[in-house]
Amino acid sequence: MSASIFDLDRESFTVAEQRLHMPRREFLQFCTTVAATLGLPAGAEAAVAKAVESAKRPPVIWLHFQECTGCSESLLRAEHPTLEKLILDVISLDYHETLMVAAGHQAEAARKASMAANKGKYVLVVEGAIPTKLNGIHCKVGGHTAIEMTKECAADAAAVIAIGSCASWGGMPSADPNPTGASSVAEVLGKPVVTIPGCPPNPYNFLATVVHFLTFGTLPAVDKLGRPLFAYGRLIHENCERRAHFDAGRFAMQFGDEGHRKGYCLYKLGCKGPETWANCPTLGFGDAGENNWPVGCGAPCFGCSEKGVGFTKPIHAMAKMANVTPPLQYPRIEERIGTGSSFASAAALAAIAGAAAGGAAMLAKNLGLSHQAAEQEKKSGQKPKAEA
């Protein structure tokens, strides 16, 4: 990347300020937030600012299927930028059933017109799982199944983003017994897509992904599940504010007990942070601080962003440690509770210890005989006779 991309003169800031109707401080705060979320180096906020100020807004087609609209609702509550600035000045939201004025045939006509005018340039966002049983009849829009719409819109899209756990891996609709055959966008398309899991995901994970595309012309680096590494590269457990209590063996045993009130680790109450990959502890929700997330509010992590955890494991079942365990010098996570040894068990233990000691003595004796035999063989050049 050339150094010039990080250069932004005062006049450019003024132009962006006027176009976005956003004070310079707030505009820089937005650019800095996006750059920090993406893990970009110091000064990269200027590149973001330049892209937002001068680049053509990417057209966005946003589809809704099996979901609760929670992902869109989360986006509605973003503050940097606010929704109206996002859809009017950062992206061009050409189709979104919840937010657009048009309805029915007019809405579908607007979608097709945007796709035709921006062929190969628009970003497709899919919210919600896609039902596949019975040829997808469980979800239709404008007479077309969710399967048909997804494939049609993805064919000429510059990028495909699955937002929320439902679109990313099936989410709640795919929970057993999954009567509709709810599936992910990647499964329906038969190819990898960028996924932003969560129920709902943090809106800034989505915004940062879109702005990365706007700034650099490419989507951010992702893991094997299509999740952006800047947001899903670390376990929740690694950055949790209660992690020190976990390492020290301090756990809340039930809701409202002394440990819970003191902010002890919630692992024994079913927290799924040790097996869930997301940046919830470091980003928080609702622009109310980093403590504004389930564990920060005293509730165990549900594992909503992780396939096979959220909507699958019992809420209060303890998590499987993905790659972090307490040091050996600290108390076990699950202390074993037993009874004192009985006379019979003590006697049995003594007998075992005696047998072990006797075995060790015989082993030492045999080792000595073997050594003597070996020495004799060296002197005589003949193998010693086996003892009777």
On the question of a cis peptide bond just before residue 177, with omega within 30 degrees of 0, the verdict is yes
Bridge partners of 140? 145
pLDDT at 47: 65
pLDDT band, very low/low/confident/very high, at 103 (cuts 50, 70, 90): confident
In whole angstroms, how large is the CA radius of gyration of the chain?
30
pLDDT digits (tens, 9 = 90+) for 231-262: 999 999 999 999 999 988 899 999 999 999 99
- Per-residue pLDDT band for 19 (boundaries 50, 70, 90) equals low
- pLDDT class for 323, splitting at 50, 70, 90? confident
* Sole residue written with tokens 């893991």: 223
- Comparison of pLDDT for 37 and 382, the residue scoring more: 37
Segment 309-327 shows an average pLDDT of 81
What are the tokens at 326?
Answer: 């307490």
**How far apart, in whole angstroms, are the C-alpha atoms of residue 319 and residue 302?**
10
**pLDDT-derived band of residue 6, with 50, 70 and 90 as boundaries?**
very low
pTM tops 0.75, yes or no? no
Residue extents of the structural domains in the chain: 1-54, 57-232, 234-335
Average pLDDT, stretch 336-356?
53
pLDDT score, position 282 = 87
Residue keyed to tokens 């301090």: 250
> Which class for 212: exposed (0-12), middle (13-18), buried (19 or more C-beta within 10 A)?
buried
Assigned CATH topology for domain 57-232: Rossmann fold (3.40.50)
Task: Give counts: helices (H), strands (E), the chain.
Answer: 16, 9
pLDDT, one tens digit per residue, over 74-100 is: 888 877 666 666 666 677 888 988 888
pLDDT at site 275: 93
Indicate the pLDDT class of residue 126, thresholds 50, 70 and 90: very high
User: How is residue 225 written in tokens?
Assistant: 């599940």
Q: Rounded to whole angstroms, how far apart are CA atoms 54 and 252? A: 52
- 198-223 confidence digits (pLDDT tens): 999 988 898 888 888 877 888 889 99
| Mean pLDDT score, 13-33 | 65
Task: State residue 217's pLDDT score.
Answer: 81
Q: Strand 194-196 and strand 159-163: pairing?
A: parallel
In the predicted model, is pLDDT for residue 130 greater than 70? yes
Mean per-residue pLDDT of the chain:
79
pLDDT at 115 exceeding the cut of 80: yes
Which tens digit of pLDDT belongs to each residue from 140-176?
A: 998 999 999 999 999 999 999 999 999 999 999 999 9
What mean pLDDT do residues 338-349 have? 52
- The residues near 104 (Cβ < 8 Å, ≥ 6 apart) are 142
Tokens 């077309």 sit at which residue?
144
DSSP one-letter string for 55-105: SPPPEEEEEE-BS-SHHHHHHHT--TT-HHHIIIII-EEEEETTT-S--HH
pLDDT in tens, 355-371: 555 555 554 555 555 55
What does the pLDDT average to over 43-62?
69
Contacts of 21 (CB under 8 A, 6+ apart): 85
Other Cβ atoms less than 10 A from the Cβ of 10: the count is 7
Q: Any long-range contacts for 30-38 (C-beta under 8 Å, 24+ apart)? A: 30/80, 30/81, 33/80, 33/204, 34/204, 34/207, 34/208, 34/211, 37/204, 37/205, 37/208, 37/230, 37/231, 37/283, 38/208, 38/211, 38/212, 38/220, 38/230
> For residue 110, how far is the Cα from the chain centroid?
33
Say yes or no to pLDDT of 38 above 80.
no
CA distance 225 to 13: 37
Q: What is the DSSP letter of 265?
A: B
Confidence at 286, pLDDT banded by 50, 70, 90: confident
**Most confident of the ranges 1-10, 18-27, 263-272, 320-329:** 263-272
Tokens of residue 320, six digits:
């499987």
Percent of the chain topping pLDDT 70: 67
CA distance 147 to 188: 7
* Least-confidence region, from 9-13, 276-280, 287-291, 315-319: 9-13
* The pLDDT value given to residue 387: 45
Percent of the chain exceeding pLDDT 90 equals: 44
C-alpha triplet 114, 120, 124: angle, nearest 5° = 65
CATH class of the 234-335 domain in this structure: few secondary structures
